Amino acid sequence: MRADLVHYFSDRRLAVRTRLWRNSVKLMLLTFDVEDWHPLADEWVYGFRTTPSGRVPLQVDQIRRVLDSLGARGTFFCVGSTAEAYPSVIRSLAADGHEIASHGYSHTPVYAFSPSQFEADLKRAHEVLSDLSGRPPIGFRAPQFSITSATWWAFAILVKWGYLYDSSIFPIRHRRYGIPGFDRYPKYIQAAGRTIVELPLATAGFCGVNLPIAGGTHRLTVQGLDTAGVFFKKPISINVSPH
Ligand SMILES: [Zn+2]
């Protein structure tokens, strides 16, 4: 887990945020991407994925303790291959009432797939997560927020597999992802004759520009949690990736 998030989860800060939660927040969607970041980062650096790091159970447990202290439940977007490596983590999250949603099987960005390859990856994760949690996931988050205008076709595949909502679109301008100008708040999307809800990643509007406040790599995340809790009047989706 990153140092600033460790600080965020410290007891003193948690007490402050607990008061904010009880006094100010009407609805907050807390989502967490469960992925073994180090093998993924090794792939970027060395060109291949290393073996599971073993860090996932401890980091997920830290998040669970915070949620328990708030009486809150969260949505965990789980990578299928990570779920296979740590099946007891997924089983116990589901048993505690947390939602298990899909983050794909291999954590491959949608734009690196053809539609048929994307469907195969989605199906594999769907089956793993259904088996471990006891129910099929209904929510999806694309690795690296990779549903963009160029990969809009993914929605037709998601509705085909019964997904009711997606949380992949970042309404910002970014070199690898994002749809600038997309709504900052939940909206319905029509795909293949069906409807799916899009819960865009949280942003803060500032001087006409959308600033990212969700996402494990954005430095505004921690401040964003405060901002979202205090100032936003509509539901937004915040996510934190334990590293
Ligand atoms: Zn991810």
185 or 123, greater pLDDT: 123
pLDDT in tens, 148-188: 999 999 999 999 999 999 999 988 777 778 888 888 888 99
Q: Looking at the predicted structure, is the pLDDT value of residue 69 above 70?
A: yes
- Please check whether residue 147 is in contact with residue 166, taking contact to mean a CB–CB distance below 8 angstroms: yes
Q: How many domains does the chain have?
A: 1
Q: Looking at the predicted structure, is the pLDDT value of residue 89 above 70?
A: yes
Q: Looking at the predicted structure, is the pLDDT value of residue 224 above 90?
A: no
Ligand 1 geometric centre to CA of 106 (Å)? 10
Q: Looking at the predicted structure, is the pLDDT value of residue 241 above 60?
A: no
Ligand 1 geometric centre to CA of 230 (Å)? 27
Ligand 1 geometric centre to CA of 189 (Å)? 23
User: Which strands form 99-102's sheet, in the order they lie side by side?
Assistant: 187-191, 194-198, 165-166, 139-140, 99-102, 75-78, 29-34, 237-240
Ligand 1 geometric centre to CA of 207 (Å)? 29
**Domain of 197?**
3-240
Ligand 1 geometric centre to CA of 26 (Å)? 27
pLDDT in tens, 39-58: 776 677 777 777 777 789 99
> What CA–CA distance (Å, rounded) separates 59 from 74?
15
> What CA–CA distance (Å, rounded) separates 134 from 97?
12
pLDDT confidence of residue 216: 58
Ligand 1 geometric centre to CA of 23 (Å)? 31
Ligand 1 geometric centre to CA of 65 (Å)? 22
Q: What is the mean pLDDT of residues 197-212?
A: 79
The closest alpha carbon to 227, from 40, 10, 17, belongs to: 17
Its pTM stands at: 0.77
| CATH code, 207 | 3.20.20.370
Choice among 102-106, 153-157, 200-204, 208-212 with the minimum mean pLDDT: 208-212
pLDDT in tens, 1-22: 333 333 333 444 444 455 555 5
Ion ligand 1, residues whose Cβ is below 5 A away = 33, 35, 143
**Phi, then psi, of 223 in degrees rounded to 5:** -65, -35
